[in-house]
Amino acid sequence: MDKNITLNLPSLMIGQVLDALYMRLETWEYTEEYLNKGHVHEPYLIEECSNPDEAHQIADYYKEIIESIEKQADCPT
């Protein structure tokens, strides 16, 4: 199992980290949609992966990371 790492960052920096993670989440959600339906959302890139299920799993992982950070930072959802 991975070890836990404690970071001590100002809330503004946490906000920036979350913004970047939300962008990655959207990219993987758009990749899944593209692989399922063929729709492309501009200006988002489509990530390289083997199938829509893989894209969905990666998007879910980003959601888990975001939720963990927001919970620890006591961010409103």
Q: What is the pLDDT of residue 10?
A: 94
> Is residue 65 in some structural domain?
yes
Q: What is the pLDDT along the chain (77 residues), one digit of tens a residue?
A: 789 988 899 999 999 999 999 999 999 999 999 999 988 878 878 999 989 999 999 999 999 999 999 999 987 65
Residue holding tokens 């890139």? 45
Cα 4 to Cα 19: distance, rounded to the nearest angstrom: 22
> Is residue 33 in some structural domain?
yes
> Is residue 4 in some structural domain?
no
> Is residue 1 in some structural domain?
no
CB atoms within 10 A of CB 40: 13
Cα 1 to Cα 36: distance, rounded to the nearest angstrom: 33
Q: What is the pLDDT of residue 40?
A: 81
- Which residues form the domain of 66? 14-73
DSSP state of 42: T
> Is residue 62 in some structural domain?
yes
Domain count, the chain: 1
Cα 54 to Cα 41: distance, rounded to the nearest angstrom: 19
Cα 49 to Cα 66: distance, rounded to the nearest angstrom: 21
pTM: 0.87
